[in-house]
Amino acid sequence: MNFKVLIIIGILLALIIVASIQSLIKEKINLKKRLLASYGKPSKRKISDDEMQTIARYFNMRKEMIDASTGKMPFYIDDITWNDLDMDRFYALINNCKSSAGQEYLYKRLRMPENDLGKALYFDKLAKFFDQNEDCRIKVQKIFVKLGITKKISVSDYISSLMQLEAEKNTIHVIALLAMLLSFVVAFAVNPVIGILMIIASVSFSIISYYRYKAKVEPYFICFTQLVKMVKAADQVVKLNIEALGHNNDKLDTISHDFSKLVKNSWLLTSTNVNGSFVEMIMDYLRMLTHVDLMRFNSCLNYLDGMESEVFDLFETLGLIEASICVASFRRAIPYWSEPRFTRDKNLMVKDLYHPLIKNPVSNSLASERNVLLTGSNASGKSTFLKSVAVNALLAQTIYTSLSSAYKAPFFRIYSSMALRDSLSSQDSFYMVEIKALKRILDAIDDQSKEEPVLAMIDEVLKGTNTVERIAASSQILKNLKDKNVLVFAATHDIELTSMLAREYDNYHFMEEVSQDEVRFDYKMQEGPATTRNAIKLLKMMGYDKKIIRDAESEAEFFTQMGAWRK
């Protein structure tokens, strides 16, 4: 009877093992299918505002750090420009990262454009390698899937918190352990009664002191867990022996070797009994009585002392690898792209340029050796073109990808003043917000410590004030930028500026075709200033009173001929 029971138990165990193995195999197959299916497609993952703030934490940390090679603060895309260009949407579009390290690095890379051609070419080389080597790409992506994403706290914050924590001495933990061992010796070898009393006292002391110290450091256990996962990921990447990684493969090898002692016995550290298993419950009691996790944690902190740069090198290198896979996937998802060519002058040439966030976009081309003034009717395409140029300059300098058939320009410092609004928090009017935004661009242009020219995108210059002062002030601001270290693209409805700035700016415009009941735009940029208006015609199409339309057309015609309004 007992023998039959053992056989049944053995069969059940065998079935459980087989089912577990099959489940693991099926999960691996499904994971590969998901990775293949998502490659070359826009990301569908929704990113909340709170999560976006978490993702931005690494960038916010790095932008305040002085560049070790230059001794200067790095250039970065400021909040006004980032929001003007709607870059959160673009980031969400290409963020196919499977790990927090990857997505935090990708965000940082997009906000801190490079001016180093060698680094740009290396990133491009990685992206092309992973695009052309599917099997290797899948293996690397599986490593990053294991690394995982933390949504509420950024990995860089975990690392920073861990590196700032000072290790405590293990004296109290050693005393608690020795006291318990001594009480058992007394109980079994000297006096059972005294020994039992000593056991009760030592166990009580161990439990009380354990929870007292554990409460201080438990939040940091997950920080350490994330670090250990990154070290293991680095070791797994190294074992793939990816030749394209070059010096970064050697860097990961060195780092994973340096941190091998950190990984050893890392299983002793845990924050909670997440699975509720019997083995984990026993381990929790063991940790509570022996303080082995606290002692291991302190020894790990001592080991990490002075290794902050190595830890962030690990984070940055892993992030760079995964970000290059995201960019390779993005390149597959778009209609066409080109490799940018960087020059030393401030001229810009783009061919068949388009915007990444527009479905069925209309492309435009431009070769400009001077500043550009854009005119045209409402909704004709002026603002979209400005954004297209700025976004492409940004992508060229960050992910070595231009959404065009050709792109040639210098490394720019990119600024914009476009989608501004009243500031309720500071009680600034629209005009005050606008002139502050313009002043920051003027200050950047006058910054003699920077060699790279500014690329300035200005939409509707000084539209927050009256016509006379707007034209007077904006003409002088734009004229003053002629011989400075800047390439300006300015859009305006003030047709007067096209003649006032004809010596300093090349004129281009967008136009429309107006029929009896519709306005049709082709979104193609034309040379010269705008010659058409559509505001009054749009009123007519919307059914406004005929007398309003007739009188408005009469007033506009009078002003065009006489240069002044009828009294």
Coil, strand or helix: which one is 149? Answer: coil
Distances from the Cα of 182 to the Cαs of 3, 193, 290, in angstroms? 45, 14, 13
Q: Please say whether the beta carbons of 393 and 412 come within 8 A.
A: yes
CB of 482 closer than 8 Å to CB of 371: yes
Low-confidence ranges of the chain (pLDDT < 50): 271-274, 424-425
The pLDDT value given to residue 541: 74
User: Which structural domains are found in the chain, ordered by start?
Assistant: 32-63+73-152+318-333 (no CATH), 341-533 (3.40.50.300)
The upper half-sphere exposure of residue 393, i.e. CA atoms within 13 Å in the direction of its Cβ, equals 31
Q: Name which of 81, 25, 11, 5 is nearest 412 in CA terms.
A: 81
Beta-strand runs (E) in 235-346? 341-342
Q: SS3 for 413-477, per residue? A: EEEEECCCCCECCCCECHHHHHHHHHHHHHHHHCCCCCCCCEEEEEECCCCCCCHHHHHHHHHHH
Query: Distance between CA atoms of 340 and 401, rounded to whole angstroms?
Result: 7
Render pLDDT for 422-449 as a digit per residue (tens, 0 to 9).
554 455 677 788 888 899 999 999 987 8
Which residue(s) pair with 19 in the sheet?
Answer: none
The per-residue pLDDT for 101 is 93
pLDDT of residue 309: 86
Q: In this structure, how many other beta carbons lie within 10 angstroms of the beta carbon of residue 55?
A: 26
Residues 381 and 530: their CA atoms lie apart, in Å, by 12
Q: What is the pLDDT of residue 227?
A: 87
- Per-residue pLDDT, 113: 94
- pLDDT for the residue numbered 155: 82
Q: What is the pLDDT of residue 2?
A: 67
- Residue 24: its pLDDT value, please? 66
CA atoms within 13 A on the CB side of 54: 16
Q: Label residue 418 left, alpha or beta by phi (over 0 means left) and psi (-120 to 50 means alpha).
A: alpha
The number of helix segments (H) and strand segments (E) in the chain equals 22, 12
Whole-angstrom distance, CA of residue 40 vs CA of residue 25: 25
Tens of pLDDT, residue by residue over 253-270, are 999 898 888 887 777 676
Cα 343 to the chain's mean position, in Å? 27
Contact 393, 350 (CB under 8 A): no
The two most distant CA atoms of the chain are separated, in Å, by: 117
